[in-house]
A and B are shown apart, each in its own frame.
Chain A
Amino acid sequence: MNLNRRQFIGLSTAVSALAFAGVSGTKLFEAYAGTEQDDAWIPTHCKACAADNRCHLLVHRVNGVAVKIEGNSDSPTNQGRNCAKSAAALLTLYNPYRVKFPVKRTNPQKGRGIDPKWVEITWDEALNTIAAKLKKVRGEDPRKFVFMTGHAASLNIDTDREFAEVFGTPNVIVGATSMACGGSASPINKIVNGGGQARADMLYCKYFLNLGANSQQGGKGNSEEADAFVNARSRGLKVVNVTPILSPSLAKTDEWVPIIPGTTGYFLLAMINVIVNELKVYDKEFLIKRTNAVYLVGEDGLYLRTNDKLKDHVRGLELGNPLVWDRSDNRAKAFDDPSLNEASLEGAFEIDGKKYRTTFEVLKEHVKEYTPEKGKEITGISPETVRRLAKEWVEEALIGKTITIDGVIYPYRPVAIIAEQGAKCHVDNYMVVHAAKILAELVGATDVPGSAKAAGSPTISINPVDGVNISEEFIYKPLKKNPERISLQDHSPIPGSSSGLAWLTMQDPKAYGFDYTPEVLGIWGGNPQALLGDFEQINKIFKDFPFTFAISYEFDEPTEFADIVLPESSWLERYGLTSFVPKTSFTEVFKTKGNYGWALQQPVLPKPLYNTKEGNQIILELSEKLGILNGKNGLLARLNESVGVREPFLLDLEKKYTWEEIIDLLCKSKTGGEKDLDWFKKNGLVTYDAFTIQKYYGYTKYPKARIPLYLEEFASHRVQLKKELEEKGIIRKPNNEFVLKQFTPLPFWEPHPEHKAAKEYDLYCINYKNMQHHFACNVGNAWLMEMTSEQDPYALNVMINRVTASKRGLKDGDRIEITSFIGGKVQGKVKTTNLIHTDVLGIAGAYGPHSANMNPEVKIGTAFADLLKLSEDLINPLKISLDRDLKVKIRKI
């Protein structure tokens, strides 16, 4: 039999389809002949993690094959370097376990690890089937369509919300991120530092108090931040980690203070107590001028205000200006009264027969109960250590010292505190982050050289009524009587960005008061089974949808519940455009190469390796089929507002675009028409000198900003919310008091659910990050997994303290079963270590995926998430952040 090349390719496609259906031993790639003659380096930005696409790469292509990924030395961020995840992305591209063409299931049975028995279908069949189902629910009630997205690394999700909006559903929900991750700190970071993420200013910092994963490495693990961190250490930075585990990202430390999981809040409050009530050392000038520490509050916790009726849009009320006590005049004055001479930082005052105190005074009283002595039992940290650290903190802060940078004098406060994942993924997550911010504010170490500050240039807006910074996410929104959003976000005055409660409501929408039941689930990223756990409940939700489609790169667990899967191109086959500014320090490189720029993400092969499309392209095509692409209410009209195209490059509402064409318009918009897509394709990135160092520090960019020490809006919100809940008859689970309690102007600490677990659960179990597998989407990469299983002694095992292990007769390699206090069970292999608290087990990352059609060689390790359960009393109701620390018992098997 003689085959010409065309027939041969056709045949092997057919054969590979068979291979897909389970016929093994077939060579998928025999069609590859490598006939194209080329040798090119293609610039693109990285998407191997969610480090804000800051790493710029060059991909070497030889004869049509991408053969190497390197850092782009033009980049001021990664400066030619690249991490393991980006280098390994070649196998993300050439992964034969990807979704390679549209498929539909032939096995009606859905469940964990059950093979859906996919068969190939055409794009037309796939899109038409999905469009028909969507049209039907859109006609009935568009809210019945729930669109689950992720923000994970491997995805370019730019059109999800716009699509949902023009479709008419409020139900865009997150798979897991934000609920399981550090997004939980962003509103506090915004209100204090003016940016969703906070970082220590690594150029000037000398003392870094780190809680949880190291934001410089473990958080994102990107080249630029790790480099800034080791540079800071070589300049004498002292690093103190207060964590239950000294995980890989924390290896470079000068001191390790092991702490019992979930007690960081107590530790911080005890530190604050020692500083304000024992040491009495703080940056008075900063507190008086740059915070709301001097504002007066009454017994009800609310500001004492002037009698004006000004519109306060944060609280949704008409209010006067807050008052402060002028100690020279001995009377209260508006905070911005020009005659104000010397505001009192401390003290209680009687005004009109009522007692008022400064918020600082309230803080002093509030933290008194958090004694280091009582803390010993709670945190496991000795009172001496707390006192020593508090002393170090105020001493290293160099209160009163200044530094001159580019001719401008700044306070020099080279101490930074950051609460990262681990420390803040708890029921009290806001409070931990808030307490860390208070500790920084006490010594004036906020947004000045050497302190924690916004990652990048800050953006702050100030409430004109009280003069204090605003966080968009803290603006009060009145509640709807009956919930519409499946995530119950309309049953919270500050719904935040996390829609994770959908995983509870969808179990039984009627019980939560919904007058509709979701019928179509769209999946575009997100992996709740791998990160939130409770797979039985979540899988049941997935199963109960009459129709599910997925836009997916791989057959992860959510995708395996789909009826139709649309193959999404790998991130090396997609378009995107992302900006960058200095993030963690304003280094010389940014001064010479430019401190603001745009970088292109582009396909590195002439056409996708398989029959795949970009997710955004799929959304455009699906919209067209649904008839919601064009017109003034169409998707293009929404994209004109959201993606950042500007006149004269706006999308023509009556035209059809490819995603590539939209990116071209975006390129032109962002560069004032100077550079188009073709220019970016060749050059990769453009940099500008856009701002000075004064605009990099909040201290100089917003000299009028007042940082809240005391979140008065929470006290106000609590009053309003209580009223609304009662009036509208809304009952939040587990109970309204649980929700209301979290609206607290000052952080408190009380035992978490895990601390109250039954005695037999005698160990804690925590989840930590490692750098090579940061983000669950990298677990499927065969190179990374081979390296991890051969070289990382910890990642795929369960870490247990050596002393604890020997007490329990455990040694390296023993298999144990772990049962969590909420009923989850996993098995794992013991790795004894000195790097973990004696009462704690440590499990890394999001290993051990369960889906049937993933590469069997990556389905190893222990799945921490399988220990978790979802219930309202484990979830912070303000930010919908899941408490991911557990109490467990173990058994040798």
Chain B
Amino acid sequence: MARYGMIIDLRRCVGCYACVMACKAENLTPKGVSWNRLIVEEKGEYPKARMTFTPVLCNHCENPPCRDVCPTGATYKRSDGIVAVNQSKCIGCKYCMVACPYQARSIHEKSEGYFSKYGLTPLEQHGYKKHKKGAPSKCVFCYERVEQSKEPACVAACPTRARIFGDVTNPNSEISHLLEKNKTFRFIEELGTKPAVSYILDQAPKTERG
């Protein structure tokens, strides 16, 4: 069985927000909900300072704290490693949101949509069927796309191909090659969550990548 993972090559990320918006458009997440975020920070002192970009999303941990704390089993792990949420089982206690070290979850508690004065647009009427008010949600690695052999929306959209998605158990996959060839890091590993999302540091040596 596949185990899906993602590499984000921070050397290639230019902070354009394409992934953030691709995710919004693919999943039509309600107002206030963002499964894919870009953390913009600064490193260094003037004039050697640099702006850094770190796209973050659900890490699809091997040991997901969000699943552990869920009182109902609404959050579960699929056999392909994707951590998914069955919103109809969720009670909205938000324990998962507190427990996720990656702050990858968000919730919509109002369902007015983006233009409250006008009600829901046809787009929102279409998209919000998937989202239950009061249930925290998060990135699900676009498993519906993955099941159709497509890349997750953020990966497909990334203008600079900074994101690589694939099966880490397949030694011939691009992600496996990259994991092998590059020094990568994962966030907050000390909790033993074993994230499926790895990063290549921006300062890492330049290596040509096709």
> What's the minimum C-beta distance from B20 to chain A, rounded to whole angstroms?
6
Q: A251-B51, A835-B51 in contact; A67/B127 too (CB < 8 A)?
A: yes
Q: Per-residue CB proximity of B5-41 to A under 8 Å, as 1/0? A: 0000001101111101110111010011010011110
CB-based contact B12/A230 at 8 Å: yes
B residues less than 8 Å from A168 (CB atoms)? none
Q: Is B208 an interface residue (CB 8 A)?
A: yes
**Distance, CA A251 to CA B160, complexed state (A):** 14
B residues less than 8 Å from A857 (CB atoms)? 114
**Distance, CA A249 to CA B17, complexed state (A):** 12
Q: A96-B115, A234-B207, A787-B24 in contact; A223/B159 too (CB < 8 A)?
A: yes
Q: Is B89 an interface residue (CB 8 A)?
A: no
**Distance, CA A82 to CA B159, complexed state (A):** 6
CB-based contact B17/A772 at 8 Å: yes
Q: Is B191 an interface residue (CB 8 A)?
A: no
**Distance, CA A223 to CA B162, complexed state (A):** 12
Q: Per-residue CB proximity of A63-93 to B under 8 Å, as 1/0? A: 1111111110000001011111101101101
CB-based contact A251/B157 at 8 Å: no
B residues less than 8 Å from A29 (CB atoms)? 118-122, 125
Q: Is A460 an interface residue (CB 8 A)?
A: no
Most buried by A among B16, B39, B45, B156: B16
CB-based contact A252/B123 at 8 Å: no
B residues less than 8 Å from A802 (CB atoms)? 46
CB-based contact B18/A62 at 8 Å: no
CB-based contact B46/A30 at 8 Å: no
B residues less than 8 Å from A735 (CB atoms)? none
CB-based contact A81/B158 at 8 Å: yes
Q: Is B47 an interface residue (CB 8 A)?
A: yes
CB-based contact A256/B17 at 8 Å: no
Most buried by B among A34, A84, A857: A84
A residues less than 8 Å from B51 (CB atoms)? 246, 248, 251, 835
B residues less than 8 Å from A221 (CB atoms)? 16
Chain A residue with the shortest CB-CB distance to B43: A834
Q: Per-residue CB proximity of B31-69 to A under 8 Å, as 1/0? A: 110100111101011111111110000000000000000
Q: Is B126 an interface residue (CB 8 A)?
A: yes
Q: Is B209 an interface residue (CB 8 A)?
A: yes
Most buried by B among A63, A246, A248, A252: A252
Q: A67-B126, A251-B53, A801-B46 in contact; A791/B114 too (CB < 8 A)?
A: no
CB-based contact B122/A32 at 8 Å: yes
CB-based contact A226/B24 at 8 Å: no
CB-based contact B114/A62 at 8 Å: no
- Which A residues between 17 and 57 are near B, CB-CB below 8 angstroms? 19, 24-30, 32, 34
Tell which of A563-571, A594-602, A778-786 binds the partner: A778-786
- Which A residues between 768 and 792 are near B, CB-CB below 8 angstroms? 771-772, 782-784, 786-787, 790-792
Choose from B11, B17, B46 the contact partner of A771 (Cβ within 8 Å).
B17
B residues less than 8 Å from A236 (CB atoms)? 206
Q: Is A855 an interface residue (CB 8 A)?
A: yes
CB-based contact A26/B46 at 8 Å: no
Q: Is A749 an interface residue (CB 8 A)?
A: no
B residues less than 8 Å from A782 (CB atoms)? 114-115
Q: Is A702 an interface residue (CB 8 A)?
A: no
Q: A27-B118, A771-B15 in contact; A791/B40 too (CB < 8 A)?
A: yes
Q: Is A222 an interface residue (CB 8 A)?
A: yes
**Distance, CA A838 to CA B21, complexed state (A):** 33
Q: Is B161 an interface residue (CB 8 A)?
A: yes
> What's the minimum C-beta distance from B136 to chain A, rounded to whole angstroms?
17
Q: Is A121 an interface residue (CB 8 A)?
A: no
Q: A19-B117, A97-B115, A783-B24 in contact; A791/B159 too (CB < 8 A)?
A: no
**Distance, CA A794 to CA B42, complexed state (A):** 11
CB-based contact B16/A84 at 8 Å: yes
Choose from A34, A84, A233, A792 the contact partner of B126 (Cβ within 8 Å).
A34
CB-based contact B15/A251 at 8 Å: yes
CB-based contact A787/B20 at 8 Å: yes
**Distance, CA A253 to CA B44, complexed state (A):** 13
B residues less than 8 Å from A833 (CB atoms)? 42, 49
Q: A217-B14, A772-B17, A791-B20 in contact; A90/B25 too (CB < 8 A)?
A: yes
CB-based contact A834/B122 at 8 Å: no
Q: Is A94 an interface residue (CB 8 A)?
A: yes
CB-based contact B24/A87 at 8 Å: yes
Q: Per-residue CB proximity of B109-137 to A under 8 Å, as 1/0? A: 00000110111111111110000000000
> What's the minimum C-beta distance from A641 to chain B, rounded to whole angstroms?
37
Chain B residue with the shortest CB-CB distance to A223: B159
CB-based contact A19/B159 at 8 Å: no
Choose from A67, A222, A253, A791 the contact partner of B28 (Cβ within 8 Å).
A67
> What's the minimum C-beta distance from A316 to chain B, rounded to whole angstroms?
46
CB-based contact A30/B209 at 8 Å: no
Most buried by B among A26, A63, A234, A786: A234
Q: Is A793 an interface residue (CB 8 A)?
A: yes
B residues less than 8 Å from A26 (CB atoms)? 117-119
Q: A65-B123, A83-B16, A835-B51 in contact; A19/B25 too (CB < 8 A)?
A: no
CB-based contact B159/A222 at 8 Å: yes
- Which B residues between 196 and 210 are near A, CB-CB below 8 angstroms? 206-209
Chain B residue with the shortest CB-CB distance to A93: B123
**Distance, CA A235 to CA B11, complexed state (A):** 12
Choose from A67, A227, A249, A786 the contact partner of B123 (Cβ within 8 Å).
A67
Choose from B32, B37, B117, B157 the contact partner of A82 (Cβ within 8 Å).
B157
A residues less than 8 Å from B125 (CB atoms)? 29, 32, 34, 65
Q: Is A803 an interface residue (CB 8 A)?
A: yes
Chain A residue with the shortest CB-CB distance to B47: A258
Chain A residue with the shortest CB-CB distance to B44: A834
CB-based contact A70/B156 at 8 Å: yes
Choose from A226, A230, A249, A792 the contact partner of B11 (Cβ within 8 Å).
A230
**Distance, CA A64 to CA B119, complexed state (A):** 18
Chain A residue with the shortest CB-CB distance to B160: A230
Chain B residue with the shortest CB-CB distance to A94: B121
Q: Per-residue CB proximity of A793-826 to B under 8 Å, as 1/0? A: 1100000011100000000000000000000000
Q: Is A575 an interface residue (CB 8 A)?
A: no
CB-based contact A787/B17 at 8 Å: yes
B residues less than 8 Å from A249 (CB atoms)? 14
A residues less than 8 Å from B126 (CB atoms)? 34, 62-63, 65, 67
Q: A84-B18, A251-B52 in contact; A787/B34 too (CB < 8 A)?
A: yes
A residues less than 8 Å from B12 (CB atoms)? 230, 234
A residues less than 8 Å from B34 (CB atoms)? 787, 790-791
CB-based contact B18/A83 at 8 Å: yes
Q: Is A229 an interface residue (CB 8 A)?
A: yes
CB-based contact B157/A87 at 8 Å: yes
> What's the minimum C-beta distance from B97 to chain A, rounded to whole angstroms?
16
CB-based contact B14/A80 at 8 Å: no
Chain B residue with the shortest CB-CB distance to A217: B14
Q: Measuring CB to CB, which residues of chain B are less than 8 angstroms from any residue of chain A?
A: 11-12, 14-18, 20-22, 24-26, 28, 31-32, 34, 37-40, 42, 44-53, 114-115, 117-127, 153, 156-162, 206-209
Q: What 7 A-B pairs have minimum CB-CB distances, sorted nearest first?
A: A27-B119, A834-B49, A223-B159, A84-B21, A28-B118, A87-B21, A251-B51
Beyond known contacts A81-B18, A251-B50, A782-B115: 4 more, CB 8 A cutoff = A69-B25, A87-B21, A95-B115, A772-B16
Q: Measuring CB to CB, which residues of chain A are less than 8 angstroms from any residue of chain B?
A: 19, 24-30, 32, 34, 62-71, 78, 80-85, 87-88, 90-91, 93-97, 217, 221-224, 226-227, 229-230, 233-236, 246, 248-249, 251-253, 256-258, 771-772, 782-784, 786-787, 790-794, 801-803, 833-835, 838, 855, 857
24 A-B pairs in the complex with CB atoms less than 8 angstroms apart: A25-B117, A29-B120, A32-B125, A63-B126, A67-B127, A70-B156, A81-B161, A82-B22, A84-B21, A87-B21, A87-B25, A88-B25, A91-B114, A94-B124, A97-B115, A256-B47, A772-B17, A782-B115, A786-B31, A787-B34, A790-B34, A791-B38, A833-B49, A834-B46
